[in-house]
Structure 1
Amino acid sequence: MQEQKGKYEGLQNDELGIKIRSNDNPYLSVDIQKKLLQPRRLSSYFIVLIESGSISYNLDLQDFTLTDGQLLFAMPNQLFTPPAKTDNLKYFKLLFDENTLALLPQQFPFLVNPLNAQTIVLDSAAKERVIKVFGILNQLLHLDKYETDTEIILAYLNTLLSELNSAYFKNKEPLNPLNTNLSKFIEFKLVVETYLTEQPSINAIAEKLALSTNSLYRIVKEYSGTSPKDYFINRLITEAQRRLRYSNTSIKDLAYELGFNDPDYFSRLFKKSTGKSASEFLPRQDLSGK
């Protein structure tokens, strides 16, 4: 990581956008615990590893049950509902922001979830290594918080994400220059996230990726099981569901926010995709915590 030194030279550990929790250092305040159990939009990357026990999380309205050696990762802006802690659960939770990620010497494609699988199952050897790295980070960020160089913290974060990136793509096509299809799919996902509310045409996206529309269709179909258009629509509807939970805006204004010129068309599309109207969706959202 020597070549990255200039990026974090002089940066203090407590200025890093990284936090870790475990059985050794859980949230101490009952009020904080109650607040954190409420649904929210993530502002950072989130990773939870279950060392032993079982627990379920809800991510973008989908339930994920984790057991020994299983890991869930989530991205900024995803709709996240954590569960109450269960008995006999051993875990590590890690949050880090985009600024911290930018300090690392490499990219980690698994974080954009190109294979549409936000859980990772670790084999016994990988689980042992990952638990050790989590444990070291836990020590660095808590016990030795003011004595450890930032470079060391980032080095272990880089090691952890490298392990998870490898496990995510295990038994899949290797991500290397020869695997251009997967690389292009990752680029497609990034373009969708960047220009989501501008709603660019599929032709425009293909041109941005230096692909023909037929090639883009084939690649997106291969990795997502849907066409580029359907992928984009599904992502828009997911974003609509996220915003319906946390915004007091009207459905008409929401449609405009998402780049729709016709709110009625948005409403029809929403109902077709979810099976219920946007107005039917709203009354079910209760963020009071009661």
Structure 2
Amino acid sequence: MIDRIKTYELPGSTILQDFQIYEVKGGEIANKRYPHKTDRPHRHSYYEVCLFMNEAGKHEIDFNTYPILSNSVHFLSPGQVHRIFRDKDYHGYLIVFSSEFFPLGTSRQENPLFYFPFFNNPTMLPVLDLDGQAFDEILLLVRQMKKESDLEQQSTSEILRAYLQLLLLKCKRHYMWKFAEKQHIGTSYFAHVQQFNMLVEKKFMEHLLIQDYAEMMGISPAILNRAVKKIIGKTAAEIIVDRLILQAKRLLIYTDLSNKEIAFSLNYADPSYFTRTFKKKTGKSPSQFKKELNEKYQY
């Protein structure tokens, strides 16, 4: 299989193997330590937080386009395909880190980054727009992180780890405030949906039934469906299918697999059923979708 989309790893350094921070001005990233060029859609094996200080471009994330607005933060998880289009007056910061770098805590066996609503969660918006005061608070933390990162002295990793945890918790608070009224973040419903999304992200290829997810969560299928419908506005089954379709889109555009091979790789026993499901969800056949996106990216 030819993979047309590159997956980039963190380059690391003598002290900071799993964390980097970059200040970016203008349309191109001039820092030699940056792990990759960004003129093509790509993905990472690590997490990325993009801090945008001014309105200067657009950001494509998994086939959705978001304008780059002043005082905004965008979040990327491993495996997400994205590309940033920067205007000449662009100014922002990029923070990249591995899941191993983030504090793991003492009681949770799962990756704690799954408990931030803007990570590892295709159903939630990966964008946080802030007012000036809130953004200035976040920006101050980021600049302190940049200063500490440039020092690369003893205890730098521990200090940056503490800063990163504080930064993400601050962003989570603002995110919850922004979406609480609309999506009841902080309720038991939202907690169920977070856990469900985490399980879907790990197990969507297995085509499990709603009953299977509910059993893993220790709740009834009715409660699970009610929570998902309340928070996301879709059924739990729709969320599972949506995740499969996202994976299909990635494979259609970024590999040379045929429609039939993609269907089988996603554990669809009947390729024609996969095609019907894809068209029902996107309004296009897999071949039509691939043709249009290939023309867009000039593959």
The change in CA–CA distance for 1:23 and 1:247 in structure 2 (over 3 A counts) is closer
| Structure 1 residue 43: Cα displacement | 2.1
Partner of 1:273: 281
State whether structure 2 residue 69 is matched by structure 1 residue 67: yes
State whether structure 2 residue 287 is matched by structure 1 residue 285: no
Partner of 2:173: 166
> Aligned letter for 1:157?
L
RMSD (Å) for aligned C-alpha atoms: 2.8
| Structure 1 residue 250: Cα displacement | 2.0
Q: Deviations over 1:226-265 (max 9, x none)?
A: 1011111111101110122222222212112112111111
Partner of 2:94: 93
Q: Which of 227, 230, 245 is the equivalent residue of 2:235?
A: 227
Count how many residue pairs are aligned between Structure 1 and Structure 2. Answer: 273
For 1:231 and 1:149, locate their aligned partners in 2 and report how far apart those are by CA, in whole Å: 41
Is the 2:263–2:269 contact (alpha carbons within 8 Å) kept by the matching residues of 1? yes
> Aligned letter for 2:221?
T
| Structure 1 residue 278: Cα displacement | 1.3
State whether structure 2 residue 161 is matched by structure 1 residue 154: yes
Partner of 1:207: 215
For 1:192 and 1:276, locate their aligned partners in 2 and report how far apart those are by CA, in whole Å: 24
Is the 1:126–1:163 contact (alpha carbons within 8 Å) kept by the matching residues of 2? no
Q: Which of 53, 68, 87 is the equivalent residue of 1:51?
A: 53
State whether structure 2 residue 152 is matched by structure 1 residue 145: yes
| Structure 1 residue 113: Cα displacement | 4.3
Where in structure 1 are there 5+ consecutive unaligned residues? Answer: 1-10
When normalised by structure 2's length, the TM-score is: 0.82
Where in structure 2 are there 5+ consecutive unaligned residues? Answer: 1-12, 107-111
SS of the equivalent of 2:125 reads coil
For 1:76 and 1:207, locate their aligned partners in 2 and report how far apart those are by CA, in whole Å: 27
The change in CA–CA distance for 1:127 and 1:196 in structure 2 (over 3 A counts) is same
Partner of 2:256: 248
> Aligned letter for 1:218?
R
For 2:240 and 2:201, locate their aligned partners in 1 and report how far apart those are by CA, in whole Å: 9
> Aligned letter for 2:167?
L
Is the 1:112–1:186 contact (alpha carbons within 8 Å) kept by the matching residues of 2? no
Partner of 1:23: 24
For 1:42 and 1:266, locate their aligned partners in 2 and report how far apart those are by CA, in whole Å: 28
The change in CA–CA distance for 1:122 and 1:104 in structure 2 (over 3 A counts) is farther
208-217 or 277-286: bigger deviation: 277-286
Partner of 2:196: 188
| Structure 1 residue 112: Cα displacement | 3.7
| Structure 1 residue 19: Cα displacement | 1.9
For 2:284 and 2:152, locate their aligned partners in 1 and report how far apart those are by CA, in whole Å: 49
Partner of 1:76: 78
For 1:208 and 1:262, locate their aligned partners in 2 and report how far apart those are by CA, in whole Å: 28
Q: Deviations over 1:167-222 (max 9, x none)?
A: 110151453xxx32111110000110110111101111111111211111110001
The change in CA–CA distance for 1:270 and 1:174 in structure 2 (over 3 A counts) is closer
Partner of 1:261: 269
When normalised by structure 1's length, the TM-score is: 0.84
Partner of 2:244: 236
For 1:278 and 1:241, locate their aligned partners in 2 and report how far apart those are by CA, in whole Å: 8
| Structure 1 residue 53: Cα displacement | 3.0
Percent of aligned pairs sharing the same letter: 23
For 1:138 and 1:229, locate their aligned partners in 2 and report how far apart those are by CA, in whole Å: 43
